[in-house]
Amino acid sequence: MKHAQHQSKGFVLLLAGMMSLVALSVDAMLPALVVIAEDFSLSNQAYAQWTITSLFIGLSFGQLIYGPLSDAFGRKRPIYLGYSLFILGSILCVLADSFAWLLAGRVLQGIGAAAPRIITTALVRDKLKGAEMASVMSVVFSIFIVVPIVAPALGQVVLNLAGWRWIFGVLLAMALVTGICFCLFQEETLAVEKRRALSIANMLAGLKLLFAERTALVYTLVSGLVFGGFMGYLNSAPLLFIQLYQQGDNFALLFALSAMSIGLASVVNGRIVLRMGMRRMILWALWSLVWLSSLFCLLLVKTQGVPSLFWLMTYLIPAFFCIGLLFGNLNSLAMEPLGAIAGLGSAFVACISTLVGIPIGSAIGLSFNNTVYPLNLGFLFMAVTALLLIKLFDRPVAKA
């Protein structure tokens, strides 16, 4: 029994470490963006945000690859492929002598990180069922939520001690440790007789079903809008806090407060969503974000776009609480009509929502003008457009 419990704890820690690779790859880099822009003599410091965007570009396409591969060839071999690409990308980033090579390495990291991000859920589904599966995933996601809180602090420490290239060295080390542990201690969970042949026809049929299901498509697009607003914050945060507010030493703490707000929203959502329903939670969160952003916009007019740090955080913390309520509920509603193609459907929803969010997030980041206006108006645009999409195209079927 003790051996089984030890195995279970090891399994949970391994999955959490694998899933955290994406979050760490994004958030640990944030304190270094300004320094990267200076090192590569970028004409606009906002261009450094492409180190974040390029990772998500790779991640979006990678998510389409590994789901079908893991169903056809088992769980382990596609993860080996993903880790190999991530490690190669990390080495390329460490050695990059130009900004273009750095971006190429980040795309490879994104494609590689998609494998553990996507396939870990399938590993749990293969091994466990029902309440046991829910319990393990709850613990995994609890650990996963902590990573964005501590990652910028880790990145800041590495940046101060050794320079930004060694942040990629830390990512490389984490990939090696979790990859070797996975290789040595995790067995293959998908039996040969349960594997499905890789088929382009099946993928096209799945994509056709997604576009035919209006509810799935609407909430996939809304999820993309919300992700775009969040990505706009990721792109803007270093310039906002480090450059505009001169809070380089406190950047990790300020970023952690918003990340904790998202984590708290996940906990609250788990407690009340069954009572309120996902649609009501989504509408409540979007309307709250509209009112918050509208009121804050009035404050920006009075302060020439640069309110005090206190008022900025007073806006961001509840705004990210609303965004935290949206993330899980939007994904669940998008997946609700896609039960027949759950694995492939999940990959399509993740890919399309990421591709929708990338240009929005990039536009917000590149619009940075030494005020908070671009971020605030980006959040307002995202929330209003999402509400319009739901109002115009979501028609829940009345229950008999």
pLDDT in tens, 137-160: 656 666 666 788 889 999 999 999
Q: Is the pLDDT of residue 339 over 70?
A: no
pLDDT at residue 130 in the model: 58
Q: Which among 7, 188, 158, 3 is positioned nearest to 80, based on CA atoms?
A: 188
Which of 216 and 107 is assigned the larger pLDDT? 107
pLDDT (0 to 100) of residue 236:
92
193, part of any domain? no
Number of H helices, E strands in the chain: 14, 0
Lowest mean pLDDT among 92-96, 163-167, 257-261: 257-261
| pLDDT score at 141 | 63
State whether 345 and 235 are in the same domain: yes
Percent of the chain with pLDDT over 90: 50
- Give me the pLDDT at residue 136, please: 66
Average pLDDT over residues 310-338: 86
Q: Which has the closest alpha carbon to 175: 38, 52, 28, 286?
A: 28
User: What pLDDT does residue 399 have?
Assistant: 43
CB 136 within 8 A of CB 12: yes
| Residue 394, domain CATH | 1.20.1250.20
Q: Indicate whether 135 and 156 sit together in one domain.
A: yes
**Same domain as 154, residue 206:** no
Domain contains 145: yes
- Domain end residue (candidates: 158, 186, 214): 186
Residue 241 located in a structural domain: yes
Contact 115, 71 (CB under 8 A): no
Does residue 171 carry a pLDDT above 80? yes
How would residue 311 be classed by pLDDT, with cut points 50, 70 and 90? very high
Same structural domain, 182 and 238: no
Whether 321 and 379 share a structural domain: yes
Collapsing DSSP to helix, strand or coil, 190 comes out as: coil
pTM value? 0.85
Residues 170 and 203 in one domain: no
CB 251 within 8 A of CB 152: yes
The reported pLDDT for the residue numbered 107 is 96
Q: Is the pLDDT of residue 398 over 60?
A: no
Residues in contact with 352: Cβ distance below 8 Å, sequence separation at least 6, in sequence order: 210, 220, 221, 224
52 and 115 fall within a common domain = yes
Same domain? 232 vs 117: no
Query: pLDDT tens, 189-236?
Result: 777 877 777 777 777 777 777 778 888 889 989 999 999 999 999 999
Pair (206, 179) in one structural domain: no
The verdict on residue 191 lying in a domain is: no
Both 179 and 109 in a single domain? Answer: yes
Domain limits for position 77: 1-186
- Domain final residue, candidates 150, 165, 186: 186
Last residue of a domain, one of 155, 186, 217: 186
Tracing tokens 């349960």 back to the chain, one arrives at: 194
What is the count of structural domains for the chain? 2
At 57 the three-state DSSP class reads: helix
**Residue 192 maps to a domain:** no
Query: Are 37 and 129 part of one and the same domain?
Result: yes
Greater confidence, 294 or 9? Answer: 294
Q: Residue 270 — pLDDT band, cuts 50, 70, 90?
A: confident
